[in-house]
Amino acid sequence: MDNTDLKRLGLKATVPRLRVLDVLEANREGHMSAEDVYRALLDAGEEVGLATVYRVLTQFETAGLVIRHNFEGRSLFELDSGEHHDHIVCVQCGEIMEFSDATIERRQERIAEEHGFKISDHALVIYGECVKPRCPRRPS
Amino acid sequence: MDNTDLKRLGLKATVPRLRVLDVLEANREGHMSAEDVYRALLDAGEEVGLATVYRVLTQFETAGLVIRHNFEGRSLFELDSGEHHDHIVCVQCGEIMEFSDATIERRQERIAEEHGFKISDHALVIYGECVKPRCPRRPS
DNA sequence: TTCCGTAATGCGAATCGTTCGCATTAAAGA
DNA sequence: TCTTTAATGCGAACGATTCGCATTACGGAA
Ligand SMILES: [Mn+2]
Ligand SMILES: [Mn+2]
Ligand SMILES: [Zn+2]
Ligand SMILES: [Zn+2]
């Protein structure tokens, strides 16, 4: 993702946009809040406003570059890999794992159909306690 | 749910608590925000504070009387019928329907297990467009 | 029944994540 | 390089929820 990729999406290749992309690409595994991205930029010595980060993330979402998730009322962002997946979250250490299950996806389609709905999206989050050695920890 | 039921749960039978219960029972089908409950009480001529409604709903949740859902960052409450279910929401008119699917529930257990998690909860919301004649409408 | 101690209430201020408004700056194409 | 216009940074505003605190009212003891 670079200068010309942004233009291809109809977005001016501005410094803040390029830097936000850098941060997201450097955290391909993770799920970052706007605040997370903002702080990463400050730490990198960038001069950017939090409002701009919010705006840029929303634009990226609209452009299909980024996916916004709503975890407990807070927005978390991740690059859109193109492959849909859902999440399982440790309520103790906050770790987020990804999974995708064809059976569940299929059933959802059917359920929507049975209720006279045309699915546009869905959100499935499983909460639990992971058994990692470094867990339990307090959530972020 | 009356005076003595509350005491049985270790909650003083105060006027606000009894009235909030009334409102929830009068809307067994629905999913209400704290604001919804608050306004219903005002309309009924009750003198209650919004903060109290929030506190009472949280207490009811803790007591297992009520379930709190997080739809798009907003809390919606409903009496706990005891039977777990998930939701399908019309993105146009805001209607919320309930469903429960044993296959999905089963798969979730297995997925959690495979990832080394002990499930404590989960949230599944399907978004779509309903085909009701009175739809589309703007969301609430 | 009346009385008291304590928990619950109502009010407004505070919080948190997010968005807005606006004067200033910087893309990008001529 | 110049010009147009979108994008930025800042702080104020926002909506949902929580807090702090002085006041009220449960409900057990007299
Ligand atoms: Mn993810
Ligand atoms: Mn429900
Ligand atoms: Zn964990
Ligand atoms: Zn609808």
Question: Which nucleotide lies at the shortest CA–C1' distance from A68?
Answer: C18
In angstroms, what CA-CA distances link A55 with A27, A49, A62, B3, B80? 19, 10, 11, 51, 39
Does pLDDT of A138 surpass 80? no
pLDDT in tens, B58-92: 999 999 999 999 998 999 999 999 999 999 999 98
Q: Which residue has the higher pLDDT, B71 or A140?
A: B71
pLDDT at residue B90 in the model: 93
Tell me the domains of chain B and their CATH numbers: 3-79 (1.10.10.10), 86-128 (3.30.1490.190)
Model pLDDT, residue A112: 97
The CA angle B86-A88-A117, to the nearest 5 degrees, is: 30
B90/A117 Cβ within 8 A: yes
Asked whether residue B137 carries a pLDDT value surpassing 80, the answer given is: no
What is d(CA A77, CA B9) in angstroms, rounded to the nearest whole number?
41
Q: Identify the sign of the CA torsion B24, B30, B33, B35.
A: negative
Neighbours of B110 (CB within 10 A): 11
pLDDT of residue B135: 81
* Cα(A88)–Cα(B115) distance, integer angstroms: 9
User: A6 pLDDT exceeds 90?
Assistant: yes
Q: Within window 34-53 on A, which residues have Cβ closer than 7 Å to strand D?
A: 47-49, 51-52
Q: What is the pLDDT of residue B132?
A: 84
Mean pLDDT of B83-106: 95
pLDDT for B139 equals: 53
Q: Report which listed range, A87-96, A124-133, B104-113, is most confident.
A: B104-113
Q: What pLDDT is attached to residue B133? A: 82
Q: Beta strands A86-90 and A117-130: pairing type?
A: parallel
**Residue A139 confidence (pLDDT):** 52
Whole-angstrom Cα Rg for chain B: 17
- Output the average pLDDT for chain B: 94
* pLDDT per position as a tens digit, A19-78: 999 999 999 999 999 999 999 999 999 999 999 999 999 999 999 999 999 999 999 999
pLDDT tens, residue by residue, B7-19: 999 999 999 999 9
Question: Chain A partners of B118 at a C-beta cutoff of 8 Å?
Answer: 128-129, 131
8 Å CB contact between A11 and A5: no
Reduce the DSSP state of residue B68 to 3 states and report it: strand
- B13 C-beta less than 7 Å away from strand D: yes
User: What span, in angstroms and rounded, lies between the C-alpha atoms of B35 and B69?
Assistant: 14
Q: Which residue has the tokens 């992309």?
A: A21
Please tell me which of the candidates A88, A108, A119 has its beta carbon nearest to residue B111: A88
The answer to whether B137 contacts chain A (CB < 8 Å) is no
Alpha carbon distance A73, B76 (integer Å): 12
* Chain B interface includes A116 (CB < 8 A): yes
Nucleotides in chain C with any atom closer than 7 Å to protein CB:
7-13, 17-21, 26-28
> What integer pLDDT is reported at residue A137 of this predicted model?
61
Q: Do A99 and B116 touch (CB under 8 A)?
A: no
Chain A stretch 31-70, residues whose beta carbon is closer than 8 A to a beta carbon of chain B: 70
* Residues in chain B closer than 8 A to A135 (CB atoms): none
